[in-house]
Amino acid sequence: MILRIDRLQTELPPPSDPDPAGAAAVQELMGGKFGEMSTLMNYTFQSFNYRYRQGTRPFYDLIANIAAEEYGHIELVAATINTMLTGAGGAGDSTAPDDALSGVKDEAYKQHYLFGGKGALPADSHGKPWNGSYVHSSGDLVEDLTHNYFLETGARSGKLRVYEMCSHPAARALTGYLLVRGGVHQVAYARALENLTGADMSKLFPSPRIPTAKIPECQPHIERGEHLKLYRFSPNDFREIVAVFNGQHPETGEALTVIDEAPEGFPPVDLPPQTDVFAPDYAPEEISEIAQKLRKAAGLPDKVTGVVANDGDGLVDKVKEKLS
């Protein structure tokens, strides 16, 4: 089971200039073979299928716990894509059902508009849906850890390349963060293999051979030591990861540490409606009104209980105003 916390693992900027082609590139980090859907689902299935947990608990705890962190990664990638698509396609003053999407007719990634609602799709940068053949759950612990080490290597490669392709602030905030955290997982699986077999994999780092430290957007995270920490994403479980995630970081020699609770996180930006794709509606103020009535009837306070990063922006009022 999970408990869901409505916060992001890192802070993302609010929408600025839309970047449809960049959003298409970021899709590779969502639904590509080495995207976050893959890391999430690989570790999730491996943990579900893990046999003999009590006898080999630290390894189970490690995989299950990293799986939990990955959920937050697909959430971040989705938020980034939504941010980059906000405002895309606009044809000046035209509104639906006019030619309000004519501005993105030349984009290759048409399903962002025709099938989705300027949101993330579980698909790669060409629109090919993520599929379950990307999941490797052999049951064999050494084999699965070897896979996971490789998967994180490929994922790091993908993140670096998206970084190089996309300079949109949201894409950069995303990849800066994911490179650091993905790096931790890469180390974690290498450490698990080393602890389990006695191999020495430290010389394989970094792979690809660009030190994360060279990337400006990684700096704030490195300065906070995020490249060394494994958070425990559970109220009470997965306490035995300390038996595996330990020793030195293969690149820096610093001590790897386990943090006994999840990071606090950041409230997400509440993104504005996109009426040209009817998200959440052609006339969002109408469903907002209905929502307010339902809230009142249920005895909820006037102030919305949810926490978002841009409360002060008065998005609700702005939308009502603009759309009225």
Positions in 161-190 near a copy of itself (CB under 8 A):
161-167
- The answer to whether the Cα torsion of 229, 270, 1, 152 is positive or negative is negative
Q: Which is nearer to a copy of itself, 115 or 254 (CB)?
A: 115
Rule CB under 8 A: is residue 300 a binding residue for a copy of itself? yes
Whose CA is closest to 20, among 106, 122, 130? 106
Rule CB under 8 A: is residue 257 a binding residue for a copy of itself? no
Whose CA is closest to 65, among 217, 209, 234, 187? 234
Q: What residues numbered 85-124 form the site for a copy of itself, per CB under 8 A?
A: 89, 96-102, 104-106, 108-111, 113-124
Rule CB under 8 A: is residue 311 a binding residue for a copy of itself? yes
Give Cα separations from 316 to 22, 117, 294, 297, 307 (angstroms). 28, 19, 16, 20, 14
Min separation Cβ 254 and a copy of itself, Å: 18
Min separation Cβ 275 and a copy of itself, Å: 10
Rule CB under 8 A: is residue 36 a binding residue for a copy of itself? no
CA 106 to the chain's CA centroid: 28
Rule CB under 8 A: is residue 78 a binding residue for a copy of itself? yes
Rule CB under 8 A: is residue 248 a binding residue for a copy of itself? no
DSSP string, 226-273: TTTEEE--SSS--GGGGGTS-SB-TTT-PBPEEESS----BPPP-PPP
Q: Which is nearer to a copy of itself, 188 or 233 (CB)?
A: 233
Q: How many residues bind a copy of itself (CB under 8 A)?
A: 177
Q: What angle do CA 89, 33, 258 make, to 5 degrees?
A: 105
Q: What residues numbered 259-298 form the site for a copy of itself, per CB under 8 A?
A: 262-263, 265, 270-274, 276-288, 290-291, 294-295, 297-298
